Structure 1
Amino acid sequence: MGLLLNLLTLPLAPVRATAALAEQILRQAEQEFYDPARIRRQLEDVAALRDSGVLDEAEAEALEEELIARMLAATERREREM
């Protein structure tokens, strides 16, 4: 039965492989997006841009709020996984 099912669904193999690859890419992207070290570096970059005058106070605060929200979400995700 398993061999017959594999033969019948063989034309779908590229679709399954593509879906598996897309899932792996999504996991990697989420891992990088919620990486606390990366978020800290980005917060430091925002501070440096503010200090150099590239970003005004409002822009810097908006970026910092977004990054802090990501940091909190990353913490919640790690707690759920435990």
Structure 2
Amino acid sequence: MGLISEVLLLPFAPARGSAWVIRQVLHEAERIYYDPATVRAELARLEERLEAGEITEEEFDRQEDELLDRLETGMGGGAETGEGTAR
């Protein structure tokens, strides 16, 4: 397969390269999204918004639950996402 398949698949190289770039961008976005430090900072900002009266208690509870789920996933306690990019 080696050389012949590479020659035959050469016209598809840009598409394969684009797919690789998309996978890398997705991987980095998920890493940042589930990063425990990022989630903790968002939790702190959420609490500040509640104390400032910008959001209601119900909205705070809903968003806090979402952030805590992300934190659990990011720390390895939740279900894996994507290609196992949650850490």
- Superposition misfits of 4+ residues, deviation over 4 angstroms: none
> How many aligned positions are there?
80
* Rounded Cα–Cα distance in structure 2 between residues aligned with 1:2 and 1:18: 22
Residue 24 of structure 1 aligns with an amino acid whose one-letter code is Q
CA RMSD of aligned residues (A): 1.9
Give TM-score, length-normalised by structure 1.
0.88
Deviations 1:8-64 (A, max 9, x none): 110010110011011101100110010000000000000000010101100011111
- TM-superposed deviation, 1:74: 1.1
Q: Is residue 57 of structure 1 aligned with residue 57 of structure 2?
A: yes
Identity of aligned residues (%): 34
* Rounded Cα–Cα distance in structure 2 between residues aligned with 1:73 and 1:46: 19
The structure with the larger Rg is 1
Give TM-score, length-normalised by structure 2.
0.83
- TM-superposed deviation, 1:4: 2.4
Higher share in helix: 1
Alignment of 1:1-82 (within 5 A): 2-76=2-76
* Rounded Cα–Cα distance in structure 1 between residues aligned with 2:5 and 2:76: 41
